[in-house]
Amino acid sequence: MGCYRILASFAVVSGLTLAVAACGGSGDDNAVKSLPSSSCQKVEYGGDGKPDVLIASDLPAQGASRERTAQQVEAIRLALDERGWRAGNKRVAFQPCDDSIASTGLWDAAKCRGNGHAYAGDADVMGVIGTYNSGCAKEIMPVTNRAAEGGVAMISPGNTLVCLTLTSDTCAPDEPRKYYPTGKRNYVRVVPNDAYQGAGLARFARQRGFRRVFVLYASNDPTSLGQGTTFRNASKQLGNPIVGFEQWDPKATDFKDLMRDAKKRNADAIVLAGLIEQNGDRLIKDKVSVLGPNSDVGLMAYDGFAQQSTIDKAGPAADGMFASVPGRAPENLAPRGKKFVAKLRQRLGGKPVEIYAPYAGEAAVLLLDAIAKAGADRAGVIDAVFGSQVQGGILGSFDFEPSGDPSSGPVTVFVARKTFRPFAEITPAIGLVNAARG
Protein backbone atom coordinates (compact mmCIF):
# COMPACT_ATOMS: atom_id res chain seq x y z
CA MET A 1 0.00 0.00 0.00
CA GLY A 2 1.43 3.38 -1.02
CA CYS A 3 2.11 6.52 0.98
CA TYR A 4 -1.01 8.72 1.25
CA ARG A 5 -2.04 12.28 1.89
CA ILE A 6 -5.59 13.32 2.74
CA LEU A 7 -7.76 15.04 0.11
CA ALA A 8 -11.18 16.67 0.28
CA SER A 9 -13.68 13.89 0.85
CA PHE A 10 -15.52 12.40 -2.13
CA ALA A 11 -18.23 11.28 0.27
CA VAL A 12 -18.61 11.25 4.02
CA VAL A 13 -20.12 8.37 5.95
CA SER A 14 -21.23 9.50 9.41
CA GLY A 15 -18.26 11.84 9.70
CA LEU A 16 -15.71 9.33 8.39
CA THR A 17 -13.67 10.74 5.53
CA LEU A 18 -13.15 8.10 2.88
CA ALA A 19 -11.15 9.85 0.16
CA VAL A 20 -7.36 9.76 -0.03
CA ALA A 21 -4.76 10.23 -2.70
CA ALA A 22 -1.37 8.67 -2.99
CA CYS A 23 2.00 10.36 -2.66
CA GLY A 24 2.96 8.04 -5.52
CA GLY A 25 1.02 10.15 -7.98
CA SER A 26 -1.84 12.64 -8.11
CA GLY A 27 -2.74 15.92 -9.77
CA ASP A 28 -0.41 17.25 -12.46
CA ASP A 29 2.28 14.69 -11.67
CA ASN A 30 0.18 11.80 -12.97
CA ALA A 31 1.23 9.98 -16.10
CA VAL A 32 -2.47 9.54 -16.91
CA LYS A 33 -4.86 12.22 -18.09
CA SER A 34 -7.38 12.98 -15.35
CA LEU A 35 -11.13 13.20 -15.86
CA PRO A 36 -12.93 16.56 -15.45
CA SER A 37 -13.14 17.99 -11.94
CA SER A 38 -16.74 19.07 -12.61
CA SER A 39 -17.80 15.47 -11.97
CA CYS A 40 -14.75 13.67 -10.63
CA GLN A 41 -12.46 13.87 -7.62
CA LYS A 42 -8.70 13.93 -7.98
CA VAL A 43 -6.86 10.95 -9.38
CA GLU A 44 -5.81 8.44 -6.71
CA TYR A 45 -2.82 6.16 -6.96
CA GLY A 46 -1.27 4.08 -4.18
CA GLY A 47 1.54 2.28 -5.99
CA ASP A 48 5.13 2.99 -6.88
CA GLY A 49 6.17 5.19 -9.78
CA LYS A 50 3.50 6.70 -11.99
CA PRO A 51 0.30 5.05 -13.22
CA ASP A 52 -0.06 3.75 -16.76
CA VAL A 53 -3.86 3.47 -17.02
CA LEU A 54 -6.94 4.84 -15.29
CA ILE A 55 -10.19 3.31 -14.08
CA ALA A 56 -13.19 5.30 -12.88
CA SER A 57 -16.33 4.78 -10.84
CA ASP A 58 -19.61 6.42 -11.83
CA LEU A 59 -21.99 6.57 -8.85
CA PRO A 60 -24.36 9.09 -7.18
CA ALA A 61 -22.38 10.88 -4.46
CA GLN A 62 -25.20 13.20 -3.35
CA GLY A 63 -28.63 12.61 -1.87
CA ALA A 64 -29.86 9.56 0.02
CA SER A 65 -27.51 7.19 -1.83
CA ARG A 66 -24.32 9.01 -0.89
CA GLU A 67 -23.45 6.63 1.97
CA ARG A 68 -24.00 3.62 -0.27
CA THR A 69 -21.76 5.24 -2.90
CA ALA A 70 -19.06 6.08 -0.36
CA GLN A 71 -18.87 2.45 0.67
CA GLN A 72 -18.71 1.25 -2.93
CA VAL A 73 -15.87 3.66 -3.63
CA GLU A 74 -14.03 2.47 -0.54
CA ALA A 75 -14.50 -1.14 -1.66
CA ILE A 76 -12.86 -0.27 -4.99
CA ARG A 77 -9.94 1.27 -3.13
CA LEU A 78 -9.64 -1.86 -1.01
CA ALA A 79 -9.52 -4.04 -4.12
CA LEU A 80 -6.80 -1.80 -5.55
CA ASP A 81 -4.84 -1.92 -2.29
CA GLU A 82 -4.99 -5.71 -2.30
CA ARG A 83 -3.53 -5.74 -5.80
CA GLY A 84 -0.87 -3.12 -5.08
CA TRP A 85 -2.58 -0.78 -7.56
CA ARG A 86 -1.39 -3.01 -10.38
CA ALA A 87 -3.00 -5.13 -13.07
CA GLY A 88 -0.33 -7.39 -14.52
CA ASN A 89 2.44 -5.06 -15.67
CA LYS A 90 0.16 -2.01 -15.69
CA ARG A 91 0.05 0.46 -12.82
CA VAL A 92 -3.55 1.50 -12.26
CA ALA A 93 -4.88 4.83 -11.00
CA PHE A 94 -8.46 5.43 -9.88
CA GLN A 95 -10.80 8.40 -10.14
CA PRO A 96 -14.24 8.41 -8.42
CA CYS A 97 -16.89 10.33 -10.39
CA ASP A 98 -20.34 11.60 -9.41
CA ASP A 99 -23.40 11.30 -11.67
CA SER A 100 -25.85 13.12 -9.35
CA ILE A 101 -26.72 16.80 -8.86
CA ALA A 102 -27.20 18.75 -5.64
CA SER A 103 -30.65 20.16 -6.49
CA THR A 104 -32.30 16.73 -6.50
CA GLY A 105 -29.77 14.40 -4.92
CA LEU A 106 -30.46 12.07 -7.86
CA TRP A 107 -28.60 10.96 -10.97
CA ASP A 108 -28.95 13.48 -13.79
CA ALA A 109 -29.31 12.52 -17.45
CA ALA A 110 -27.16 15.36 -18.78
CA LYS A 111 -24.44 14.72 -16.23
CA CYS A 112 -24.48 11.00 -17.00
CA ARG A 113 -24.05 11.70 -20.71
CA GLY A 114 -21.28 14.20 -19.99
CA ASN A 115 -19.47 11.65 -17.84
CA GLY A 116 -19.83 9.09 -20.62
CA HIS A 117 -18.19 11.45 -23.13
CA ALA A 118 -15.37 12.11 -20.65
CA TYR A 119 -14.65 8.39 -20.27
CA ALA A 120 -14.87 7.81 -24.01
CA GLY A 121 -12.58 10.74 -24.78
CA ASP A 122 -9.84 9.90 -22.28
CA ALA A 123 -7.66 7.23 -23.89
CA ASP A 124 -6.18 6.31 -20.51
CA VAL A 125 -9.56 5.10 -19.19
CA MET A 126 -9.68 1.30 -19.52
CA GLY A 127 -12.97 0.77 -17.73
CA VAL A 128 -15.75 2.20 -15.58
CA ILE A 129 -17.27 0.67 -12.45
CA GLY A 130 -20.88 1.81 -12.61
CA THR A 131 -23.49 2.89 -12.83
CA TYR A 132 -25.67 2.32 -9.78
CA ASN A 133 -28.90 3.70 -11.29
CA SER A 134 -30.17 1.97 -14.42
CA GLY A 135 -31.55 5.23 -15.83
CA CYS A 136 -28.06 6.72 -15.77
CA ALA A 137 -26.68 3.62 -17.45
CA LYS A 138 -29.09 4.21 -20.35
CA GLU A 139 -27.41 7.57 -20.95
CA ILE A 140 -23.80 6.42 -20.62
CA MET A 141 -23.84 3.05 -22.34
CA PRO A 142 -24.30 4.20 -25.97
CA VAL A 143 -21.51 6.76 -25.51
CA THR A 144 -18.95 4.36 -24.06
CA ASN A 145 -19.97 1.74 -26.63
CA ARG A 146 -18.92 4.10 -29.46
CA ALA A 147 -15.64 5.14 -27.83
CA ALA A 148 -12.44 4.91 -29.84
CA GLU A 149 -10.33 1.75 -29.78
CA GLY A 150 -13.29 -0.59 -29.36
CA GLY A 151 -15.28 1.07 -26.59
CA VAL A 152 -14.90 1.38 -22.82
CA ALA A 153 -15.71 -1.57 -20.56
CA MET A 154 -18.48 -0.94 -18.02
CA ILE A 155 -19.08 -3.23 -15.02
CA SER A 156 -22.12 -2.32 -12.93
CA PRO A 157 -22.36 -3.27 -9.25
CA GLY A 158 -26.01 -2.22 -9.02
CA ASN A 159 -27.99 -1.87 -12.29
CA THR A 160 -30.99 -4.21 -12.32
CA LEU A 161 -33.18 -3.01 -15.22
CA VAL A 162 -33.84 -5.98 -17.51
CA CYS A 163 -33.89 -3.83 -20.66
CA LEU A 164 -30.20 -2.93 -20.41
CA THR A 165 -29.27 -6.43 -21.54
CA LEU A 166 -32.40 -8.38 -22.52
CA THR A 167 -35.78 -7.94 -24.17
CA SER A 168 -38.91 -7.97 -22.04
CA ASP A 169 -42.55 -6.94 -22.24
CA THR A 170 -41.53 -3.88 -20.20
CA CYS A 171 -38.89 -2.80 -22.76
CA ALA A 172 -39.15 -0.53 -25.80
CA PRO A 173 -38.84 -2.28 -29.17
CA ASP A 174 -35.29 -0.99 -29.66
CA GLU A 175 -34.06 -2.12 -26.24
CA PRO A 176 -31.44 -3.30 -25.48
CA ARG A 177 -30.12 -2.87 -29.06
CA LYS A 178 -29.92 0.92 -28.83
CA TYR A 179 -27.44 0.76 -25.96
CA TYR A 180 -24.90 -1.00 -28.19
CA PRO A 181 -24.81 1.04 -31.43
CA THR A 182 -21.62 -0.66 -32.63
CA GLY A 183 -23.27 -4.06 -32.36
CA LYS A 184 -20.68 -5.28 -29.86
CA ARG A 185 -21.43 -5.29 -26.14
CA ASN A 186 -19.18 -3.54 -23.67
CA TYR A 187 -21.35 -3.76 -20.53
CA VAL A 188 -21.77 -6.42 -17.84
CA ARG A 189 -23.27 -6.40 -14.38
CA VAL A 190 -22.43 -8.49 -11.33
CA VAL A 191 -25.98 -8.37 -9.90
CA PRO A 192 -29.00 -10.35 -11.13
CA ASN A 193 -31.54 -8.29 -13.08
CA ASP A 194 -35.03 -7.28 -11.97
CA ALA A 195 -36.64 -10.42 -13.40
CA TYR A 196 -34.82 -12.34 -10.64
CA GLN A 197 -35.76 -9.73 -8.07
CA GLY A 198 -39.42 -9.64 -9.13
CA ALA A 199 -39.62 -13.44 -9.09
CA GLY A 200 -37.91 -13.64 -5.72
CA LEU A 201 -40.08 -10.97 -4.12
CA ALA A 202 -43.27 -12.54 -5.51
CA ARG A 203 -42.22 -15.91 -4.12
CA PHE A 204 -41.48 -14.27 -0.77
CA ALA A 205 -44.89 -12.57 -0.72
CA ARG A 206 -46.60 -15.90 -1.25
CA GLN A 207 -44.51 -17.53 1.48
CA ARG A 208 -45.56 -14.76 3.89
CA GLY A 209 -49.21 -15.42 3.09
CA PHE A 210 -49.85 -12.14 1.24
CA ARG A 211 -52.68 -12.80 -1.20
CA ARG A 212 -53.95 -9.30 -1.98
CA VAL A 213 -50.91 -7.23 -2.89
CA PHE A 214 -51.16 -3.65 -4.14
CA VAL A 215 -48.21 -2.45 -6.26
CA LEU A 216 -47.05 1.17 -6.41
CA TYR A 217 -44.34 2.40 -8.78
CA ALA A 218 -42.72 5.83 -9.23
CA SER A 219 -44.19 7.78 -12.15
CA ASN A 220 -42.10 8.73 -15.19
CA ASP A 221 -39.47 6.18 -14.24
CA PRO A 222 -39.12 3.18 -16.57
CA THR A 223 -36.98 1.33 -14.02
CA SER A 224 -39.70 1.55 -11.38
CA LEU A 225 -42.40 0.51 -13.86
CA GLY A 226 -40.23 -2.40 -14.95
CA GLN A 227 -39.75 -3.55 -11.36
CA GLY A 228 -43.46 -3.37 -10.60
CA THR A 229 -44.24 -5.26 -13.79
CA THR A 230 -41.83 -8.10 -13.01
CA PHE A 231 -43.56 -8.54 -9.63
CA ARG A 232 -46.98 -8.52 -11.29
CA ASN A 233 -45.91 -11.04 -13.93
CA ALA A 234 -44.35 -13.41 -11.39
CA SER A 235 -47.35 -13.13 -9.06
CA LYS A 236 -49.66 -14.10 -11.91
CA GLN A 237 -47.49 -17.13 -12.66
CA LEU A 238 -47.79 -18.16 -9.01
CA GLY A 239 -51.58 -17.84 -9.14
CA ASN A 240 -51.45 -14.84 -6.82
CA PRO A 241 -52.82 -11.91 -8.90
CA ILE A 242 -52.37 -8.42 -7.50
CA VAL A 243 -55.32 -6.18 -6.52
CA GLY A 244 -53.85 -2.85 -7.66
CA PHE A 245 -51.13 -1.41 -9.89
CA GLU A 246 -50.78 2.36 -9.56
CA GLN A 247 -48.10 5.04 -9.83
CA TRP A 248 -47.02 7.59 -7.29
CA ASP A 249 -45.82 11.09 -8.12
CA PRO A 250 -42.47 11.71 -6.37
CA LYS A 251 -43.29 15.44 -6.29
CA ALA A 252 -46.54 14.95 -4.36
CA THR A 253 -46.69 15.95 -0.71
CA ASP A 254 -49.32 13.43 0.36
CA PHE A 255 -50.04 9.82 -0.59
CA LYS A 256 -52.94 9.05 1.70
CA ASP A 257 -55.44 8.82 -1.16
CA LEU A 258 -53.35 6.06 -2.75
CA MET A 259 -53.30 4.21 0.55
CA ARG A 260 -57.06 4.66 1.00
CA ASP A 261 -57.50 3.12 -2.45
CA ALA A 262 -55.41 0.14 -1.33
CA LYS A 263 -57.51 -0.12 1.82
CA LYS A 264 -60.75 -0.17 -0.19
CA ARG A 265 -59.38 -3.10 -2.16
CA ASN A 266 -58.59 -4.97 1.07
CA ALA A 267 -54.87 -5.07 0.30
CA ASP A 268 -52.92 -7.16 2.78
CA ALA A 269 -49.55 -5.86 1.55
CA ILE A 270 -48.02 -2.99 -0.44
CA VAL A 271 -45.07 -3.25 -2.81
CA LEU A 272 -42.99 -0.13 -3.57
CA ALA A 273 -41.05 -0.13 -6.84
CA GLY A 274 -38.71 2.85 -6.98
CA LEU A 275 -36.18 4.74 -4.87
CA ILE A 276 -36.19 6.23 -1.38
CA GLU A 277 -35.08 9.48 -3.10
CA GLN A 278 -38.45 9.60 -4.91
CA ASN A 279 -40.23 10.86 -1.78
CA GLY A 280 -40.24 7.30 -0.51
CA ASP A 281 -40.14 8.27 3.16
CA ARG A 282 -43.44 10.17 2.82
CA LEU A 283 -44.92 7.16 1.06
CA ILE A 284 -43.91 4.85 3.91
CA LYS A 285 -45.25 7.20 6.58
CA ASP A 286 -48.60 7.58 4.80
CA LYS A 287 -48.86 3.82 4.34
CA VAL A 288 -48.59 3.30 8.10
CA SER A 289 -50.90 6.23 8.82
CA VAL A 290 -53.72 4.82 6.68
CA LEU A 291 -53.15 1.05 6.67
CA GLY A 292 -51.47 0.54 10.02
CA PRO A 293 -48.11 -0.90 11.04
CA ASN A 294 -46.18 -3.18 8.75
CA SER A 295 -46.85 -6.11 11.07
CA ASP A 296 -50.57 -5.81 10.19
CA VAL A 297 -50.51 -4.86 6.51
CA GLY A 298 -47.19 -5.84 4.97
CA LEU A 299 -44.82 -3.44 3.24
CA MET A 300 -42.32 -4.73 0.68
CA ALA A 301 -39.96 -2.73 -1.52
CA TYR A 302 -37.30 -3.12 -4.16
CA ASP A 303 -33.59 -2.49 -3.64
CA GLY A 304 -33.86 1.30 -4.03
CA PHE A 305 -35.25 1.29 -0.48
CA ALA A 306 -32.81 -1.24 0.98
CA GLN A 307 -30.44 1.25 2.58
CA GLN A 308 -29.97 2.89 5.95
CA SER A 309 -31.28 6.24 4.70
CA THR A 310 -34.76 4.68 4.38
CA ILE A 311 -34.85 3.93 8.10
CA ASP A 312 -33.29 7.27 8.98
CA LYS A 313 -35.79 9.26 6.89
CA ALA A 314 -38.98 7.26 7.50
CA GLY A 315 -38.33 6.68 11.18
CA PRO A 316 -40.58 4.24 13.11
CA ALA A 317 -42.86 3.83 10.06
CA ALA A 318 -40.13 1.77 8.38
CA ASP A 319 -40.03 -0.79 11.17
CA GLY A 320 -40.86 -4.27 9.92
CA MET A 321 -40.88 -3.41 6.21
CA PHE A 322 -39.15 -5.81 3.84
CA ALA A 323 -36.77 -4.83 1.05
CA SER A 324 -35.35 -7.14 -1.58
CA VAL A 325 -31.90 -6.91 -3.08
CA PRO A 326 -30.52 -8.91 -6.00
CA GLY A 327 -27.67 -10.97 -4.69
CA ARG A 328 -26.43 -12.14 -1.32
CA ALA A 329 -26.09 -10.23 1.97
CA PRO A 330 -22.50 -9.31 2.92
CA GLU A 331 -22.56 -11.60 5.98
CA ASN A 332 -23.71 -14.55 3.85
CA LEU A 333 -21.00 -14.37 1.19
CA ALA A 334 -18.50 -17.17 0.55
CA PRO A 335 -15.21 -17.15 2.54
CA ARG A 336 -13.38 -14.77 0.18
CA GLY A 337 -16.32 -12.38 0.34
CA LYS A 338 -16.54 -12.53 4.13
CA LYS A 339 -12.84 -11.75 4.42
CA PHE A 340 -13.22 -8.78 2.06
CA VAL A 341 -16.25 -7.50 4.01
CA ALA A 342 -14.35 -7.79 7.30
CA LYS A 343 -11.51 -5.67 5.90
CA LEU A 344 -13.95 -3.15 4.52
CA ARG A 345 -15.86 -2.91 7.80
CA GLN A 346 -12.59 -2.14 9.58
CA ARG A 347 -11.86 0.66 7.09
CA LEU A 348 -15.38 2.01 7.69
CA GLY A 349 -14.82 2.26 11.43
CA GLY A 350 -17.00 -0.74 12.23
CA LYS A 351 -20.08 0.48 10.35
CA PRO A 352 -22.39 -2.14 8.78
CA VAL A 353 -21.37 -2.83 5.19
CA GLU A 354 -23.99 -1.89 2.58
CA ILE A 355 -24.95 -4.77 0.29
CA TYR A 356 -23.61 -3.22 -2.93
CA ALA A 357 -20.15 -2.50 -1.51
CA PRO A 358 -18.72 -6.01 -2.05
CA TYR A 359 -20.34 -6.00 -5.50
CA ALA A 360 -18.31 -2.90 -6.33
CA GLY A 361 -15.23 -4.65 -4.98
CA GLU A 362 -15.86 -7.64 -7.25
CA ALA A 363 -16.39 -5.30 -10.21
CA ALA A 364 -12.99 -3.74 -9.49
CA VAL A 365 -11.31 -7.14 -9.30
CA LEU A 366 -12.87 -8.18 -12.62
CA LEU A 367 -11.65 -5.00 -14.27
CA LEU A 368 -8.13 -5.38 -12.88
CA ASP A 369 -8.00 -9.00 -14.06
CA ALA A 370 -9.12 -7.93 -17.53
CA ILE A 371 -6.47 -5.20 -17.72
CA ALA A 372 -3.84 -7.69 -16.52
CA LYS A 373 -4.80 -9.94 -19.42
CA ALA A 374 -5.28 -7.34 -22.16
CA GLY A 375 -3.05 -4.45 -21.10
CA ALA A 376 -3.92 -0.95 -22.29
CA ASP A 377 -6.16 -2.32 -25.05
CA ARG A 378 -9.75 -1.18 -24.62
CA ALA A 379 -11.27 -3.77 -26.93
CA GLY A 380 -9.15 -6.47 -25.34
CA VAL A 381 -10.28 -5.45 -21.86
CA ILE A 382 -13.93 -5.79 -22.91
CA ASP A 383 -13.27 -9.25 -24.36
CA ALA A 384 -11.45 -10.29 -21.20
CA VAL A 385 -14.33 -9.11 -18.99
CA PHE A 386 -16.87 -11.13 -20.99
CA GLY A 387 -14.56 -14.15 -20.84
CA SER A 388 -14.22 -13.99 -17.04
CA GLN A 389 -14.51 -17.28 -15.15
CA VAL A 390 -14.71 -16.29 -11.48
CA GLN A 391 -13.89 -19.07 -9.01
CA GLY A 392 -14.10 -18.37 -5.30
CA GLY A 393 -14.35 -14.63 -5.77
CA ILE A 394 -15.84 -12.00 -3.47
CA LEU A 395 -19.30 -12.98 -4.75
CA GLY A 396 -18.51 -16.67 -5.14
CA SER A 397 -18.17 -18.43 -8.51
CA PHE A 398 -19.84 -17.22 -11.70
CA ASP A 399 -19.32 -16.21 -15.30
CA PHE A 400 -21.25 -14.03 -17.75
CA GLU A 401 -23.97 -14.84 -20.23
CA PRO A 402 -23.55 -13.33 -23.72
CA SER A 403 -26.06 -10.68 -22.60
CA GLY A 404 -23.65 -9.44 -19.92
CA ASP A 405 -25.75 -10.82 -17.05
CA PRO A 406 -24.14 -13.01 -14.36
CA SER A 407 -24.82 -16.72 -14.76
CA SER A 408 -26.38 -17.10 -11.31
CA GLY A 409 -27.43 -15.26 -8.20
CA PRO A 410 -29.99 -15.35 -5.39
CA VAL A 411 -32.28 -12.62 -4.09
CA THR A 412 -32.02 -11.50 -0.45
CA VAL A 413 -34.95 -10.04 1.48
CA PHE A 414 -34.06 -7.75 4.38
CA VAL A 415 -36.26 -6.58 7.25
CA ALA A 416 -36.00 -3.05 8.67
CA ARG A 417 -35.29 -2.67 12.35
CA LYS A 418 -32.65 -0.21 13.53
CA THR A 419 -30.80 -1.33 10.42
CA PHE A 420 -31.77 -3.62 7.55
CA ARG A 421 -31.11 -7.22 8.56
CA PRO A 422 -31.11 -10.28 6.29
CA PHE A 423 -34.41 -12.14 6.66
CA ALA A 424 -34.57 -14.64 3.80
CA GLU A 425 -32.58 -15.74 0.77
CA ILE A 426 -34.50 -16.95 -2.26
CA THR A 427 -33.25 -18.46 -5.51
CA PRO A 428 -36.27 -18.35 -7.82
CA ALA A 429 -36.79 -21.08 -10.39
CA ILE A 430 -35.74 -20.07 -13.89
CA GLY A 431 -39.30 -20.61 -15.11
CA LEU A 432 -40.57 -18.01 -12.66
CA VAL A 433 -37.74 -15.63 -13.67
CA ASN A 434 -38.74 -15.97 -17.30
CA ALA A 435 -42.37 -15.34 -16.41
CA ALA A 436 -41.37 -12.21 -14.46
CA ARG A 437 -39.40 -10.94 -17.42
CA GLY A 438 -42.41 -11.40 -19.72
Band (pLDDT 50/70/90 cuts) for residue 162 is very high
Shared-domain flag, residues 229 and 118: no
pTM: 0.84
**Confidence at residue 30, expressed as pLDDT on a 0 to 100 scale:** 57
**In the chain, how many domains are there?**
2
**Confidence at residue 170, expressed as pLDDT on a 0 to 100 scale:** 81
What are the start-end ranges of the H helices in 239-350? 256-264, 280-291, 308-314, 335-347
Which CATH number characterizes residue 280's domain? 3.40.50.2300
Band (pLDDT 50/70/90 cuts) for residue 143 is very high
Furthest-apart CA atoms within the chain: distance in Å: 68
356 inside domain: yes
Shared-domain flag, residues 279 and 185: no
> Would you say residue 349 has pLDDT above 70?
yes
d(CA 211, CA 294): 15
Say which residue, 236 or 6, is predicted with more confidence: 236
**Confidence at residue 27, expressed as pLDDT on a 0 to 100 scale:** 42
Band (pLDDT 50/70/90 cuts) for residue 4 is very low
Q: How far is CA 366 from CA 125, 188, 362, 392, in A?
A: 15, 10, 6, 13
Average pLDDT over residues 100-121: 97
404 inside domain: no
Burial 126-157 (b: 16+ CB within 10 A, else e): bbbbbbbbbbbbbbbbebbbbbeebbbbbbbb
- What is the span of the domain harbouring residue 25? 4-192+333-399
Check residue 400 and report its DSSP letter: B
d(CA 131, CA 100): 11
Check residue 359 and report its DSSP letter: H
Average pLDDT over residues 248-265: 97
Query: Among 199, 186, 209, 261, which residue's Cα sits nearest to residue 231?
Result: 199
Average pLDDT over residues 149-161: 96
Band (pLDDT 50/70/90 cuts) for residue 74 is very high
17 inside domain: yes
What digits encode the pLDDT tens for the residues 7-65?
A: 333 433 333 333 444 433 334 445 899 999 999 999 999 999 999 999 999 999 999 88
Shared-domain flag, residues 184 and 199: no
> Would you say residue 374 has pLDDT above 70?
yes
d(CA 416, CA 8): 33
Shared-domain flag, residues 104 and 138: yes
Q: Residues near 376 by Cβ (< 8 Å), separated by ≥ 6?
A: 52, 53, 90, 124, 126
